[in-house]
Homo-oligomer: A and B are copies of this chain.
Amino acid sequence: MSVAVAERRRLSPEERREELLQFGHEFFAEHAFDAFSMDEIADMAGVSRGLLYHYFGGRRGFYLATVAHAADGTIAAMERARGNGDTIDVLAVLDGFVGYVHDNAGIYKAVIHGGFASDEVADVETDRVRDYIFNLALGYACIEHPSDLERIALRGWIAFIEMATAEWVDQQAVTRTEFVELMASNLLSIFRQLHIDVS
């Protein structure tokens, strides 16, 4: 009886990095930050621990790269749904967001929604996603310089859609359309409350 030993493969740095990020995407979706040693993680990824350190510097670096990757994916999904017209279709973009979370529920909930306790670098990444949505909402309402109250309310609304989407994805108890409309009309409520005309 022989143990199946994967032989050494030599990839380009770009390919290897992409492969490892793909693995991190799945790994951190399922396992807590410190649930395994770097040795075990490297084994699961099919590489040596040295390689993980080479590419990401360590556990935290690997985690952060995975967070950044997921943030990129989330924004890209909305970008795609937005299209390249100059009018903003809030329903379409929200649907793009919901689509990404639906297809990547594990990593989204672990990393973007859940986040990592008081880590500045990770916060930068999750905030990138929020800022994208924030600016989209500003553009939709034709606001250039939001007031303090407007900023607070919009950031609150963004948390609303993050939590509600995580919740919806779990059960999908109402239709996707109905759900997206709930989020959109909540945004309109907030605009109305703040006396913002959106025509």
Closest B residue, CB atoms, query A162: B159
What is the CA–CA distance of A28 and B116 in the complex, to the nearest angstrom?
A: 12
Q: Any chain B CB within 8 A of the CB of A156?
A: yes
Q: Which residue of B lies closest to A29 (CB)?
A: B118
Number of copies: 2
| Interface bin, chain A | 35 or more
A185→B29 CA distance, assembly (Å): 36
Partner-binding segment picked from A11-19, A75-83, A135-143, A147-155? A147-155
Residue of B119, B158, B171 touching A32 (CB-CB under 8 A):
B119
Q: Does A23 contact B (CB under 8 A)?
A: no
A153 to B182, CA, bound (A): 8
Q: Is the CB of B110 within 8 A of A114?
A: no
Interface residues of A in 90-112 (CB under 8 A from B): 109-111
Decide yes or no whether A198 CB sits under 8 A from chain B: no
Chain A 157-175 interface mask (CB, 8 Å, partner B; 1/0): 1111111100110010110
Beyond known contacts A34-B59, A149-B174, A189-B189: 4 more, CB 8 A cutoff: A33-B116, A115-B117, A153-B186, A159-B159
